[in-house]
A and B are shown apart, each in its own frame.
Chain A
């Protein structure tokens, strides 16, 4: 399993952070996996942001801290999933990781990470 992240490294305040994670070696429609986004910063440490998973229909779980401005969606035609975080502030500056969330338990495969800086 490999996860390949893409997306811009610089976002202006109040705009939307958008990242994509391409999956190979597994399917985003897997009945055993969920697909998660996690970020890491010196001030927050490792912070789980949310996940999407397919169990006959698509489900989404989000961390309370970002629930009002986050969306994680899967694109089965491209076997990838995405993160959108709206209304960003400098506090959202972090390294963002995508990861496979096995059984919605632990993270066994990770993307390479993307440093996203929120600055004008």
Chain B
């Protein structure tokens, strides 16, 4: 299953809302989709699993939604520490990652 993330880069200001999308080439079994964030030089950090469940310790401004082939990560009121790379990952058929979306400061 191929995951396509869009946009590749988004330029926003702190306090704004970010909407990241992840499209799967096939319907995902039971919404088996996760989201990660990654700072340069660090491993990815799990944000969301099962399309909409926040991982422990993840702030409420991170909201996952979607089903079947179309999924969204919304970040409400961007904080300065939110500007980094974001990846989706499916685990319905083996495990694959999207190519990432960079959220940069405008």
Contacts and interface: CB of A to CB of B under 8 A. Distances in A.
B55 interface: yes
B43 A110 contact: yes
B14 to A, nearest CB: 27
Interface residues of B, number: 20
Contacts of A107: 34, 36, 44, 46, 89
Contact of A106 (B34, B43, B94, B96): B34
Interface string B24-60: 0000000010101000001111100100000100000
A107 to B, nearest CB: 7
Interface string A13-44: 00000000000000000000000000000000
B19 interface: no
Interface stretch (A45-53, A69-77, A82-90): A45-53
A104 interface: yes
A110 B45 CA distance: 8
A104 B99 CA distance: 21
Contact of B99 (A45, A48, A108, A112): A45
A63 B96 CA distance: 10
Interface of A: 45-48, 61, 63, 97, 99, 101, 104-108, 110-113
Given A45-B98, A48-B95, A108-B46, 12 more contacts: A46-B44, A46-B87, A46-B97, A61-B94, A105-B34, A105-B91, A107-B36, A107-B46, A108-B49, A110-B43, A112-B43, A113-B43
